[in-house]
Each structure stands twice: as structure tokens, then as C-alpha cells.
Amino acid sequence: MKMAFVASDTDKSRQSLQQLTARYGQHAPADAEVIVALGGDGFMLQTLHQVMNTGKPVFGMRRGTVGFLMNDYRMDELPERIAAAQSTVLHPLKMRAETTTGRVHEALAINEVSLLRQTRQSARIGIEINGQPKIDELVCDGVLLSTAAGSTAYNLSAHGPVLPIGSDVLALTPISPFRPRRWRGAILPADARVRFQVHDHEKRPVSATADNFEVRHVKTVAVSEDKSSRMTLLFDPDHNLEDRIINEQFVF
């Protein structure tokens, strides 16, 4: 099996990279049958961005702290583990952001698309789902739309729900909401089309971020799942991701 090993910039990951390449060899990503990512969830998302639409599946092994998207690290019988792994196909979110000057920026997000206030003043954001107004004005620090893959990251820190991989839903989560005070977000079908309208954008500027791509002074932001783009994650058959997702929701 032709494997391309990639590793995050930590001592533990680099040491594992040396050990694995010495044992199994190393191929260029373009020539490999599978990409083996060594690190945490952040590095996995970075790797998925790089291999998107190449058809290369990614098998992650945990060399970070949490690693919801990673398998356990073991050196033995790696080709056999990969051959027996179960695959999960992920589709990113596509962000289309229009700025106050009329410029349009597009970007893909594996993790989440987030809107955040740029100044000390709260943001005022209207939310439409599939063309229907749902919240006329959310007064908040921001709001985000997260995929299942990204639900254990910023979304979880903002008290959003943890979504099982493959659940085909998205999490719409407010960030420090002031009005409506009782609204804590929503779970949407993955094919939902979400549109954010920034009110009073000259006085209360807002930025939009798709993973690590940021656009400042946005006026409207449209987000939907991009079915034309895909990435494949490989998991051990006994991978305990589901149990870990359940347990994470009971950490106080």
C-alpha cells in the first residue's frame, strides 16, 4: 500500500513520522493511495483542505490532545487497518460573502462559517433559512454555522451541540446572544440554505470567516453545503467516536 505520511509541527508528531516512514516507506501525496495524517483535529482539517477533490482518503492517527476525527495511534499492521477501515464522506460549506463595498468573496469551510463583531459594539444580524426569515435581528457577538466535523471545535466552545459524523445536519449557534435572550441555536438539515444579513453594518461592522479565510466588513453572507466538493475520512471499525461524542456532552 502506497502511503503518504504528513504530520503536524509538534515533537510527538515528527517523531511518529520518522518511525512510520522508516517502517512503511514514504510516497508523495500525488502518488499515494492514502494520506496518513499525524496530529490533532486542527491538523486533520488542514490536511482535508489540501486533499479536497483529489480522491485521496485520509486516515488520521491521534498525536494531539483531543482528536475526535483521529484514530488511535498504533504502529503495527497499519496497512491492514487502513484496508479494513470504514469510510465517511464529508462535504464542506460554501460561503459567499458580500462586503459593504460590493465585493464578493467565496470560500469553503470544513469546520464552520462564523460571523463576528469587529468593534466593541454588538452585531445585529438577521437570519433566513431557505429564503424564509427566522430571526429579524439577533443582537450578539456573532453567530456560526458548523458542520458535524467542526462541531467539537468553536461550535462546542460557543455552547453549540456536538453532532455525530455522518448525521447530515448542521449546527446554527449564536455567540454570546443578547436578544433574543432565550434563543440558543438550531439544528438544521445539511441541505439548508442559510443567509445572514448584517444590519447597521457601517456603525456595527462584522467579519465573516470560513475556517481560516476571513472577510471583513461584510453586508450579507450566504452559506450552503457544497455537494460538488468531497473528502473521505477513514476510521477503524471499532473507532469509538460515537461514545466520545456522547461523553463530551456530559463534561461539566
Buried b (16+ CB within 10 A) or exposed e, 210-233: bbebebebbbbbbbbbbeeeebbb
Report the alpha-carbon distance of residue 170 to residue 186 in Å, rounded.
Answer: 8
Report the alpha-carbon distance of residue 252 to residue 244 in Å, rounded.
Answer: 15
Specify the CATH number of the domain 3-90+230-248: 3.40.50.10330
Residue 177 neighbours by CB distance under 10 Å: 21
The pLDDT value given to residue 245: 66
Confidence of residue 149 (pLDDT cuts 50, 70, 90): confident
Residue type, 216: R
Mean per-residue pLDDT, 63-88: 90
Q: Is the pLDDT of residue 252 over 80?
A: no
| Residue 96 phi, psi (nearest 5) | -120, 105
Mean per-residue pLDDT, 69-86: 94
Catalytic residue, candidates 41, 168, 238, 243? 41
Task: Give the containing element (helix H, strand E) for 103.
Answer: none
Q: CATH 3.40.50.10330 occupies which residues in the chain?
A: 3-90+230-248
Nearest to 149 by CA among 243, 245, 63: 245
Report the alpha-carbon distance of residue 108 to residue 249 in Å, rounded.
Answer: 27
The pLDDT value given to residue 41: 87
Q: CATH 2.60.200.30 occupies which residues in the chain?
A: 93-225
**Model confidence pLDDT, tens digit, residues 157-200:** 999 998 988 789 999 999 999 999 889 999 999 999 999 999 99
The pLDDT value given to residue 190: 96
Q: Is the pLDDT of residue 88 over 90?
A: no
Tell the CATH topology of 93-225: Tumour Suppressor Smad4 (2.60.200)
Percent residues over pLDDT 70 in the chain? 94
Whether the full predicted model's pTM is greater than 0.75, yes or no, is yes
Report the alpha-carbon distance of residue 24 to residue 248 in Å, rounded.
Answer: 34
**Model confidence pLDDT, tens digit, residues 35-45:** 999 999 889 98
Report the alpha-carbon distance of residue 38 to residue 73 in Å, rounded.
Answer: 9
The pLDDT value given to residue 201: 92
**Model confidence pLDDT, tens digit, residues 93-146:** 999 999 999 999 999 999 999 999 999 999 999 999 999 999 999 999 999 999
Q: List the Cα angle 182/184/188 in 5-degree steps.
A: 135
Report the alpha-carbon distance of residue 67 to residue 239 in Å, rounded.
Answer: 12
Q: Is the pLDDT of residue 155 over 90?
A: yes
Residue type, 148: A
Mean per-residue pLDDT, 64-71: 81
Active site residue 41: yes
Report the alpha-carbon distance of residue 121 to residue 134 in Å, rounded.
Answer: 23
Report the alpha-carbon distance of residue 169 to residue 194 in Å, rounded.
Answer: 13
